[in-house]
Each structure stands twice: as C-alpha cells, then as structure tokens.
A and B are shown apart, each in its own frame.
Chain A
C-alpha cells in the first residue's frame, strides 16, 4: 500500500510541476495573442473602409458592429461587422464593410479551416472581389439561382459566406434603425 502511495505522489509531483510551467507560459503568451487579435481587427477594419474613425455599437444578438466616419469630414461612410456561420468543416468568419445604403464595399475572410484545395480557396482575391457592390438580396449562390459564383467543389462554403453576410446585414439594419 505504501508503495502505491509513493507512486501516486511521484506522479502528482510531475503533474504539478508541468501545470506550473504551463501556467507560467500561458501568462506570457496570452497577452501577446490578445494584443495581436485586437491589432489585426483594427488593421482589417481600416483596410475595408480606409481613412475612417470607427465607433463600436452592439447588435440585437450582442455581436459588435462599427460605424465608420470619415476622418476628413466626419460624415458616416458606412459600417463594418463580422459575419460568421458554419461552413463545411469549420466556422467561417468574414469581416464585411458596407456603405450607408448597405451595399457591400469589401469583404475579407478572417478565420476559416475549410478543406485545403476546396473551401479554403475562399481567401483568394477573385472569390472575395465578386461580393463587392452587392445588396443583401443579391447574395445568392449560383446553385440556388443567384449570381455569386461558387468555388469548384465548395458550394457549401460559398453559400455559408453569402448567407452569413446577408443575415448580418439584415440584423445591422434593425440595430441602426433602433438607434435612430
């Protein structure tokens, strides 16, 4: 019996030391990760709507959107928000910039883990470009009778991005309407 207690004690010590080291490493890396994510978001926002100041607002489901106002004149240029939906094998997150009339200005995929070679192509320029200058009603994939050209072998990913943006625009309209 004494032998087994000794064994468990040794194992316990190993686990404790390991956890201690991990806690220390975590305390070093966590701020770096958070900091980088915040910086990235800011950078992406100004890429979507350049030369603008951003002000945060909240939608009905608690997700954030940002109002972009021109640095030069102070006029409202448009809005940015993050649209997220489950694609084929992962959650696809897109940051979207729209103008005052809710026409898509530019989109950028910020997070995805779709199949390499198929759905993962959603970060390519030719695919993202076709979303520009569309209203929410135009965000329908060709397979469903719309005009958004789907990627070869990745209709699901394409549909996920298109619908997530359309849904988020609808929510944004409510949020802004409520504010005024």
Chain B
C-alpha cells in the first residue's frame, strides 16, 4: 500500500504550496485564470514525474559531488521538451504562461523532490511521489485561480458564474490580488490545523 501512501501525501498532508511553501512564483503569477492554473500544474507535474523517475534510476551512477548539476540538467531537458511540445500543440496556453514555462526549471518543488525523495527511493515510490506532489501542486493552483477568477472576472474557466449585476473586483486578477488571496488561504489552512 505504500504506493498509495506516497501518492496521497502530496495532495494534503505535505501539500507543496500550502504546507511546505515551495514554488511560490508560478503559484502567484499564472493563477489569473483557472485554465492557466491547470496548464501550469500539469506541465509541472509532467516534469516532476519524469525527472523523479530518471533521477531515481540514475541514483547509483551519479557521483555525490556533482549530483545537483546533473539533476538540473535532467530537469532542464524535460522542461525544454514540455516547452517545445506546448508551443506546437497548445499555442494559446503556451503564450499566456510565457516566461513561466522555462522557469519550471527553478521551481523549488522539482529540485526539492529530486534531492529529498527521488535520490533516496526506488523508481516506483518516486513515481508515486511525483504524481502526488504534482497533483497537490495542480490542485492548489486551481483553488487559488478559481478564487481569483471568480472574484476578479466573475467567471470560472471562462464560463460566467456570477450574476450579471456582479461588478468584477479587478484587483483580484492583478498582482496584489494574488498575494492577498494566497495569504488568506494559508491563514485558513493554519486555522484548520490548529483546530485539529
């Protein structure tokens, strides 16, 4: 059952954003709409899963001293693949995520999981860890994006959900809204933890 355990821990108990607080830049930057949030989440998940698998496979042949440059090379290669594939097949999304696709390389979640988990565990566990962490990341992005999009544009994934009379709170979509939304969400998580 350890496969399921490794998989599920990333979603809630060790959620990369709300609990470990990693990968803040994309979380704030691309969550102005739900579509962007999902796109970013899935792109990062793909990179996370692939790099976790490769790194756990090569852990025996990577010399301790240069492990970080090797991990970075592996991650950067997968990021470039995602970048090119997205430019070719989902150009609209590629355009709106823009700079933040190559920046998946420096997303601390991915290097963090490589160093803390994949380099010490076998392939199957690393795969589960990658899927779990990736889903946790995607889920958090969607939650933040949903709040911002509903408040700031009155829509959810492009579909109008608020009554016509609702005047969109523009600030929620802009940069300040990102910080404030995430701040309150984290406070909420803390509050729930305290109650337990």
Contact = CB atoms under 8 A, between A and B. Distances in A.
- The answer to whether A and B touch in the complex, with CB atoms under 8 Å apart, is yes
Q: Is the interface of A mostly helix, strand, loop or mixed?
A: helix
Given A29-B85, A33-B87, A118-B174, A22 B69 contact: no
Contacts of B81: 21-22, 25
A39 to B, nearest CB: 11
A129 B175 CA distance: 29
A10 B66 contact: yes
A167 interface: no
Contacts of B174: 115-118
A29 B91 CA distance: 12
Given A7-B63, A15-B73, A29-B85, A116 B80 contact: no
Interface residues of B, number: 29
A117 B170 CA distance: 7
Q: Is the interface of B mostly helix, strand, loop or mixed?
A: helix
B96 interface: yes
B89 interface: yes
Interface in A1-35: 6-7, 10-11, 14-15, 18, 21-22, 25-26, 29-30, 32-33
Contact of A153 (B76, B88, B95, B170): B170
Contacts of B103: none
A11 B80 contact: no
Interface of A: 6-7, 10-11, 14-15, 18, 21-22, 25-26, 29-30, 32-33, 36, 111, 113, 115-118, 152-153
